[in-house]
Amino acid sequence: MTAHAALKRWVQEMAKMCHPDTIVWIDGTPEEKARLEGEAIAKGEVLRLNQEKLPGCIYHRTAPNDVARTEHLTYVCTGRRADAGPTNNWMSPKEAYARAREIFENSMVGRTMYVIPFSMGPVGSEFSKIGVELTDSIYVVLNMRIMTRTGTRVLEALGRDGAFTKCLHSKADLNIDRRLILHFPGDNTIWSVGSGYGGNVLLGKKCLALRIASYLGKHEGWMAEHMLVMGIEDPSGRICYIAAAFPSACGKTNLAMLLPPEGLKKKGYRIWTVGDDIAWMRIDTDGSLWAVNPETGFFGVAPGTNSISNKNAMETIRKNTIFTNVLLTMDGTVWWEDGDGPVPDEGIDWQGRPWRPGMKDEKGEAIKGAHANARFTAPIAQCPSISNRIEQHHGVPISAIIFGGRRARLAPLVYEAFNWQHGVYVGATMASERTAAQYGRQGEVRRDPMAMLPFCGYHMGDYFRHWLKMGSRMKKPPKIFHVNWFRQDENGSFLWPGYRENLRVLEWIMDRVDGFAEAVKTPIGYIPAPNSIDMTGLDLPVSVMEKLLSIDRGEWLQEIEDHKKFFETFGSRLPKELMDECRAFKKRLS
């Protein structure tokens, strides 16, 4: 156990409220994994998959009403409503604790409460944060063991009186009307109840490493961002690191472990994966921005992942992986839409019902074997492209920051911001179509600043100010870019092939960082000059490339009006610099 008196006291207090039958402290050993899996299988919480084909892999289904983050049930509980800002749901801490307490009360009767000490970032690093999650879900424990550094060594790092985030989770009765995901930045506390789905319950991830950490970062002078981090090794052997913020299910995992396309292979690029979802960044003694990935695993979208779209992910998930809400095949393996191999003749779908290809629902729509937000949880250490700097407490130096969203129209394939302040404007006005990673109307375009709309743990206006301030503190701030892999033609087909081919855009970005790729200055920023993107081996008509890079002034003028309206919601807490950017942009367009 631990010599940390406050930790022990808190565990006792929470146990008094939730009333578990037993309390088990997670030590992080391999023996523990075997034991927990055995228990979970015996209870029917998970299934063991075919161990010959998928060694160390297990299968889990969440409740059908619990398959994505529930943003409308997610709250930032600050003393004053104004401090949560207009983009967060708010509840007073008093009301939030009281409402949740009612649901937590006796929620663990007949269950075990697991105590998971975990570290976000290398154990013992000055820049890491420690959390302790109490949960009644073995599935959560097994996931946390992959996604974070857990166990005794974390308790040792915590010592007798170290600071930690208090994370409490109970599935309770999985009732969506009794589901709450509550953040108390002032108390360094997270309470989540009534869910068993990933981002709602793996409290180290979105809750701690983004919502609480963004708040801490603001106060301590660093940044917690919804970003992948990757290294691109050029033919000379130099590695340039970039961080990219795309909203949920918009391509971070895919980009983070990209393989060069055939046509560019002979150039000899190599990609090194640092992280696929979260970046913690700070200014180091050299005045540059350095990033670490606080996680140790991937919680990736399964559908669409196959050996052509993402070979490295397929290699990563061949063993020791948890599959959630995918199709279970008759031989104990897994499958999902647009996955590898032939479509199985039959299986059990994500809701546990018999499934055959071609089955239709009452509306005549195809019944999917896997939920669109089905996920795999796999150790980053199994990724063939893993960077050797994962355990480096300094992390990696960032040369470029990329923003991107899913926009069928408007945003070109790539453009570069004029400078940091303009880049912050580009990030702040990002928008994207809603995906299956969150509840709500799919496809609807919404503003998603820096891909942080659901994850910023404080007032978004203050967050923009923090970004501006970070830029002014850096000796050489990263260049900022915007990409859009999802522009469509009149028939709704993607204009850009995406996936591996995205390296062509990254190459242009790196060359811009080095100052030699040619660009054209436009009102929105710098776009690639004709022929400045290497298209060797990619048969894309010039006219399509022109469409991909085209800028419609009329549409952008309309867009600016929307930017302004969005900015106005932040009132006096919007940095004046962003309205200035808005005005300057309008002037450039007219």
206 is a contact residue toward ligand SPV (CB under 6 A): yes
69 is a contact residue toward ligand SPV (CB under 6 A): yes
147 and 119 in contact (C-beta within 8 Å)? no
> d(Cα 366, Cα 203) in Å, to the nearest integer?
34
Residues in contact with ligand GTP, counted by CB under 6 A, come to a total of: 22
Shortest Cβ contact with ligand SPV: which residue? Answer: 199
Stretch that binds ligand SPV, among 41-49, 199-207, 418-426, 482-490 (CB under 6 A): 199-207
* Interacting partner of 206 out of Mn ion, ligand SPV, ligand GTP, none (Cβ under 5 to 8 A depending on kind): ligand SPV
Q: Sign (positive/negative) of CA torsion 377, 455, 92, 187?
A: positive
381 and 147 in contact (C-beta within 8 Å)? no
Residue type, 401: I
244 to 132, 316, 400: CA distances (angstroms): 29, 21, 8
**In this chain, which of 251, 339, 404, 461 binds ligand GTP, going by CB under 6 A?**
251
300 is a contact residue toward ligand GTP (CB under 6 A): yes
Q: Minimum CB separation from ligand GTP for residue 245, in Å?
A: 9
The neighbouring-strand residues paired with 322 are: 58, 377
Tokens of 438: 């969150």
Q: Minimum CB separation from ligand GTP for residue 199, in Å?
A: 8
> d(Cα 147, Cα 118) in Å, to the nearest integer?
10
**In this chain, which of 4, 129, 149, 205 binds ligand SPV, going by CB under 6 A?**
205
Bridge-based pairing of strands 180-184 and 74-76 is parallel
**In this chain, which of 11, 212, 249, 548 binds ligand GTP, going by CB under 6 A?**
249
- Spatial CB neighbours of 365, under 8 Å, sequence gap ≥ 6: none
Residues 459-488 that bind ligand GTP (CB under 6 A): 485-486
Per-residue interface string for the shown chain with ligand SPV, residues 220-249, x marking contact by CB under 6 A: ----------------------------x-
Residue type, 420: W
**In this chain, which of 2, 148, 165, 254 binds ligand GTP, going by CB under 6 A?**
254
250 tagged catalytic: yes
Of 77, 167, 207, 250, which residue is the catalytic one?
Answer: 250
Closer residue to ligand GTP (CB): 91 or 378: 378
376 is a contact residue toward ligand SPV (CB under 6 A): no
276 is a contact residue toward ligand GTP (CB under 6 A): yes
**In this chain, which of 96, 212, 232, 437 binds ligand SPV, going by CB under 6 A?**
437
Q: Minimum CB separation from ligand SPV for residue 205, in Å?
A: 5
504 and 414 in contact (C-beta within 8 Å)? no
Alpha carbon of residue 450 to chain centroid: 12
Residues in contact with Mn ion, counted by CB under 5 A, come to a total of: 2
* Interacting partner of 69 out of ligand SPV, ligand GTP, Mn ion, none (Cβ under 5 to 8 A depending on kind): ligand SPV
Residue type, 465: R
**In this chain, which of 171, 179, 183, 252 binds ligand GTP, going by CB under 6 A?**
252
What backbone phi and psi angles, to 5 degrees, belong to 288? -105, 170
* 3-state DSSP helix/strand/coil % of the chain, to nearest 5: 30, 25, 45
Q: Minimum CB separation from ligand SPV for residue 437, in Å?
A: 4
- Residue whose tokens read 């939730």: 18
301 is a contact residue toward ligand GTP (CB under 6 A): yes
Short-list 220, 115, 201, 192, CA closest to 158: 115
148 is a contact residue toward ligand GTP (CB under 6 A): no
304 is a contact residue toward ligand GTP (CB under 6 A): yes
198 is a contact residue toward ligand SPV (CB under 6 A): yes
Residue type, 185: P
138 to 41, 45, 273, 567, 589: CA distances (angstroms): 10, 8, 29, 43, 56
* Interacting partner of 335 out of ligand GTP, Mn ion, ligand SPV, none (Cβ under 5 to 8 A depending on kind): none
Short-list 370, 380, 429, CA closest to 567: 429
Residues 261-300 that bind ligand SPV (CB under 6 A): 277, 299
**Extended strands (E) in 171-212:** 180-184, 189-193
262 to 63, 92, 536: CA distances (angstroms): 42, 55, 9
SS3 499: helix
Closer residue to ligand GTP (CB): 93 or 405: 405
499 is a contact residue toward ligand GTP (CB under 6 A): yes
500 to 149, 195, 251, 258, 269: CA distances (angstroms): 31, 35, 11, 6, 12
272 is a contact residue toward ligand GTP (CB under 6 A): no
SS3 5: helix
* Interacting partner of 198 out of Mn ion, ligand SPV, ligand GTP, none (Cβ under 5 to 8 A depending on kind): ligand SPV
Shortest Cβ contact with ligand GTP: which residue? Answer: 498
**In this chain, which of 199, 260, 477, 525 binds ligand SPV, going by CB under 6 A?**
199
> d(Cα 328, Cα 59) in Å, to the nearest integer?
8
* Interacting partner of 97 out of Mn ion, ligand GTP, ligand SPV, none (Cβ under 5 to 8 A depending on kind): none
Closer residue to ligand SPV (CB): 252 or 466: 252
> d(Cα 273, Cα 293) in Å, to the nearest integer?
10
**In this chain, which of 71, 277, 349, 462 binds Mn ion, going by CB under 5 A?**
277
Closer residue to ligand GTP (CB): 332 or 497: 497
> d(Cα 443, Cα 436) in Å, to the nearest integer?
9
Short-list 229, 314, 231, CA closest to 272: 231
Short-list 374, 373, 369, 372, CA closest to 330: 369
* Interacting partner of 251 out of ligand SPV, ligand GTP, Mn ion, none (Cβ under 5 to 8 A depending on kind): ligand GTP
Interaction site with ligand SPV (CB under 6 A): 69, 198-199, 205-206, 248, 277, 299, 437
Interaction site with Mn ion (CB under 5 A): 248, 277
Interaction site with ligand GTP (CB under 6 A): 246, 248-254, 276-277, 300-301, 303-304, 309, 437, 485-486, 494, 498-499, 502
What are the residue numbers of the active site? Answer: 250
